[in-house]
A and B are shown apart, each in its own frame.
Chain A
Amino acid sequence: MQESEIIGQLRDWILERAGAASDRLTDNEMPILDEGLLSSLDIVEFILFIESLREEEVDIENIEPEVFTNLRTLYDAFFADKSQVIAS
């Protein structure tokens, strides 16, 4: 998948789960947590969704909280260089 496609899928998942309008999160740098679009209520399913996109498990212990800041940080952490976060 291309970067834009992955970011689009992450955006769609977050917006659908939050019940937010489709014109939210048009900016990849918009803060997801501060905008109330993602919470601890969603995190397990969100990680599972990310793993389904990656087709690989996420090494949860090596994730920094900041990766949940926005769509760009999510893409960079989980998809741009998978070798950093894939479980051994």
Chain B
Amino acid sequence: MADGRSLRSGFIESWKRVPDHVALEVDGNKRSYDTLGTLAASLAATLAREVPDGPLLTAVFGHRSVSAFAGILAALFRGHGYVPLNSAFPTDRTRSMLERTECTCVIVDNQASKQLEEVLTGVTQSLVLIFPERVDVAEFAERFPDHKVLGSADLQPSSDWSEADFDVDPNGIAYLLFTSGSTGIPKGVMVAHRNVNAFVDSMVERYSITESDRFSQTFDLTFDLSVFDMFVAWECGARVCCPTQAQKLLPAKYIQERELTVWFSVPSTGVLMNKLRMLKPGHYPSLRWSLFCGEALPKEIIESFAAAAPNSIAENLYGPTELTIACTLYRWNAQTSPANCELGLVPIGEPYPDMQVLVVDEAFVEVAPGESGELLMTGSQLTLGYWKDAERTNAAFMVPPGKDHLYYRTGDRVRRQNGDSPMVYLGRVDNQIKIQGYRVELGEIEMVMREEASVDTAIAMGWPETSAGADGVVVFITDASVDTKTVLARVKNRLPNYMAPRTIHCIDEFPLNANSKVDRKALLQRLREKP
């Protein structure tokens, strides 16, 4: 980065400029830039003391707590990238992420600490475990004798940290997030500082964010859309408002009571609000921006939301984690946009200023305007690839024929922009689906099912269908002797809630298509006829 900026830079500048402004509001607690920055600096100095050398990643195990947000900043202040871990995930998955990233320090909040013993079972690497919310950590020291345990009383003074002491490589990892993998092993996407700074700069300019803005924070920290909420807000001295789990169930009340100005969620949250009669016209006058990303956006949802937030501009953002949060966008216009919708979905629009689009056929030849093909993209937000996985990186990040630099294959089918007709999303080219915004490889669920049910074939399907994708997953097998209840319970121990099948359907035999492959369309039809 020519100007030496990194993901932490915006927060630090706001900390200097508006130290008393509220940076974070969570569970009734407000933290100013000064308070949050001071805690993060203290944690960063502690990280430097405990692990002066070694891996450039720090894990943060927690969410919806001051410690989790301070932990993310601390990793960045230290010059590390952060690896978010999620206590809502099965412990085996969290342990695998921790071990694969080779983190030696973990910052843990109170809620996640309840799960820590299970997560650390079998972990051979000695870790430094930091509990910023605990003064007395004797109990943890006894429970985790193989690891070094630190509480709030063991932290270095914040004055021992200074930005200049901890350089950041702009090509270094700012955060590493895991996405579902078709082989059953989640892929760790490495996002560099220069990638995410390009994204944040685009967003700050487009949305004219000010110190008075209040951002929703609806996403888990393991979901990259959370990066928008935190770092676009903090870049400008604005406030991040993080609802508790209970408040998240009733987003209408939260928007109104906190007088949010920037709303950002997956379309499924809009669907939920619509079903619960929360999108009444004029209900959210405080909102300036109504933004959606993470899955296909149904036309009726943006129409209802725009009417409910009449003072806001509504936009549909699109992008995979590999292209840093979002890389195309479309501004909704109540008069003209409905005609541009296809399959009832809002267009995904134009690429960000530093991003380029290529829509190709199966031979990677660019299709004509208005034709459909797979979306490939490149530009300043093209990430570093997958953590320690050259094979899958090379498969997804490739140089198309006739080009001289890397593009990312999104796996998404789109219709190429044609004159005034914007780019529209048409579906996937593979077996990946989105469930409430979470990217899910059906192959990963099928692999876990095969292992747990001891069957040769298991077919996972997104079900029930929604206009944005699916609300959940069901699985088909052909072995009637399988104890489905027991298998479902075991599968839930290995997959996050949103990936775990709701039902296992046992059928006599799989329908086959002309290529003698399992006919997924026929299975879908079966579900439609007999859910």
Contact = CB atoms under 8 A, between A and B. Distances in A.
Interface of A: 19, 21, 33-34, 36, 39-41, 43-44, 47, 60-61, 63-66, 68-69
A19 B488 contact: yes
27 contacts: A19-B489, A19-B492, A21-B489, A33-B245, A33-B246, A34-B111, A36-B88, A36-B497, A39-B88, A39-B245, A39-B497, A40-B248, A40-B272, A40-B436, A41-B498, A43-B276, A44-B272, A44-B276, A47-B276, A60-B276, A60-B277, A61-B252, A61-B253, A63-B253, A64-B253, A65-B247, A65-B249
- Which one of B253, B269, B278, B500 has the greatest number of beta carbons of chain A within 10 Å? B253
Contacts of A65: 244, 246-247, 249-250, 253
A88 to B, nearest CB: 13
Contacts of B272: 40, 43-44
Shortest 6 CB-CB distances between A and B: which pairs? A65-B246, A33-B245, A65-B247, A44-B275, A19-B492, A43-B249
Interface string B261-291: 0000000010010011110000000000000
A63 B245 contact: no
B246 A63 contact: no
Contacts of A43: 249, 272, 276
B491 to A, nearest CB: 8
A34 to B, nearest CB: 7
Contacts of B245: 33-34, 39
A67 to B, nearest CB: 8
Contact of B497 (A21, A41, A63, A69): A41
Nearest to B275: A44
B436 A63 contact: no
A86 B246 CA distance: 20
Contacts of A69: 246
Given A41-B497, A41-B498, A43-B272, A60 B111 contact: no
B440 to A, nearest CB: 13
A61 B283 CA distance: 11
